[in-house]
Amino acid sequence: MLIIGREIGQYVIINDEMKVTVEQKNAKLHLVIDAPKDISITRVKQTPMNLRKKTRIIGDTIQIGSSIQVSILQTESGLIRLAIDAPKEISVYREEIYQRKETKL
């Protein structure tokens, strides 16, 4: 599992084809997923995950395809984090790293 800090409006790129953005509506955090139409995206009932004691799931948990799960977490200090559970062969980039990678190509 990969934990990445994001602010509202920031995103991560998964496998060079999916964009996951943290957004806020009416004081609740949500995930906005931009992915190819052939990839299934479903909301998952929030279940306890093996996380540190002072971390809790505060927003959506989304299943992308059959092997990727993304949840919004909040730490004791109030930081927002994305927990991304995916196989090791799937690449995950913060937006600033992905943009840097794209400009080098």
Residue 13 CB: number of other CB atoms within 10 A? Answer: 20
Q: Which residue has the higher pLDDT, 89 or 56?
A: 89
1-15, 27-41, 42-56, 81-95: range with lowest mean pLDDT: 42-56
Q: Which tens digit of pLDDT belongs to each residue from 27-36?
A: 777 889 999 9
pLDDT over 60 at 48, yes or no: no
Strands 68-75 and 80-85: antiparallel
User: What is the C-alpha to C-alpha distance for residues 71 and 29, in angstroms, rounded to an integer?
Assistant: 10
Domain positions in the chain are 2-104
pTM (2 d.p.): 0.80
